[in-house]
Structure 1
Amino acid sequence: MRGWFRLTLGLLAVVLGALWTVQGLGYASGSVMTGHRIWAVIGGAVVLIGLVTLYFGLRARGGRS
């Protein structure tokens, strides 16, 4: 079970960060975040954190025999 939590958390962070970025850039409507550039910056940071978390989750899964 090692790595599953990190993989799940990383994937969730990537998806949410991408959504926030798209909303912040104004491509998705229907939210109070739409059109506010700060959400694009926050979303980008969350995507990067998610990718790092995914990387470490994959390493934890791959290190097991």
Structure 2
Amino acid sequence: MNRGLALALGVVLLLVGALWTLQGLGYVGGSPMTGVTFWAVVGPLVALLGLLLAVLGGRKRT
């Protein structure tokens, strides 16, 4: 996978995961996802996956 694509996809997943977490915890309203425990659990997992992908995509290969 292209490093730039991996980095961009990782950042998007990180942001989406953070949003899902906040919605699941009830901090962001206006969505059927608000206050649903499932999203409070899945959100951090997606954010962690995005962080891992962004770090791996941003690393220089030697």
**Normalising by structure 2, what TM-score?**
0.92
How far apart in 1 are the matches of 2:38 and 2:61?
Answer: 38
Partner of 2:57: 57
Count the aligned residue pairs.
61
Moved over 4 A (4+): none
Partner of 2:26: 26
Partner of 1:39: 39
The unaligned stretches of length 5 or more in structure 2 are none
Structure number, greater radius of gyration: 1
How far apart in 2 are the matches of 1:8 and 1:20?
Answer: 18
**Normalising by structure 1, what TM-score?**
0.88
How far apart in 1 are the matches of 2:61 and 2:31?
Answer: 41
The unaligned stretches of length 5 or more in structure 1 are none
Aligned-residue identity in percent? 46
